[in-house]
Structure 1
Amino acid sequence: MEAINIHEAKTRLSQLVARAAEGEGFIIAKAGKPMARVMAIDSPESGQQKRLGFLAGQFKVPDDFDRMGQEEIAEMFGG
């Protein structure tokens, strides 16, 4: 992620925000010290990428999954 000096960020803010909206985040630094990270709102945090479907085909959900343990649960509630 690119680090941008705070003065340069003020000068080029609209360009930098447009880049962030396209998924290219950046860091605003003051005197070389990182102060803020700018990224698109819908971007996941680093290390939190969505992994939908990563177990596809690895297991099968039984057809009666929503009724499993039904008798035991009914007994717990006195039914």
Structure 2
Amino acid sequence: MLYLNIHEAKTHLSRYLEQLLQGERIFLCKRNIPIAEIRALPKPLQQKRPIGLAKGEFTVPSQFFEPLPDDVVMAFEGH
């Protein structure tokens, strides 16, 4: 963990980017009191998710496809 005062971070943030990518966290401080945290975002997925990952995990009941009761429809429509 790195602790940087705001002025140091504003002036030299690019120096710390590689450390952020390696998993380091930076705590921004105002007068040596931590007020915020900077950390790298998770890496995006390299491949598309396959379709059907939850196949066989659950079943959709037939009632799911039936019309909603009138009172529920009215609640959605704001009546």
TM-score (norm 1): 0.49
